[in-house]
Structure 1
Amino acid sequence: MIVIVNNKEYSGTEAELDASKRQGEKMSTILKKTKAYEMPQANSQSNLFSVGSTIYSVKGTEDFIIVKDKEIELPLG
């Protein structure tokens, strides 16, 4: 589970969002989905989330993002 946003790599976690991790502003949208075994190489790419999934910041931290997909919503850090 990798997403590249603003030249930073975020890897997935299966953890549920706790109360301290609130959704912030929209940052981007997934523009390209690579194969699951491929490493995304550019901004707005993921090897898990579908094209069109929305990427949000997390209030109070730059260590995590939230990706909202039709079927999956996970915090990434």
Structure 2
Amino acid sequence: MCLKLVGTPNATKPLAGMCDSTCCPQATHHPCHRPVWAESVRTKQVFIESIGRNHKTEKARLQADLDRDVKVLASIDAAAA
């Protein structure tokens, strides 16, 4: 998937910086990735709380991103348990 997104379908290896577990079954997250995902959750929660009522679309978009981050964080925790 990552190779198609950047227009390199003939490459022989995935692009690690584009790993997205929502798009690619080969993308993995490990305990060493947890701090980055946890910080992303924290930052998005704070930002969502600061968005005014008139910005419902932006709030919904960020909430979807936050939900994804929370899901990834939960999978990291479940795998570590």
TM over 0.5: no
Q: Which of the two has greater helix per residue?
A: 2
Structure (1 or 2) with the larger CA radius of gyration: 2
Which of the pair has the greater relative contact order for Cα pairs under 8 Å at 6+ separation? Answer: 1
TM-score (norm 1): 0.26
Q: Which of the two has greater strand per residue?
A: 1
TM-score (norm 2): 0.25
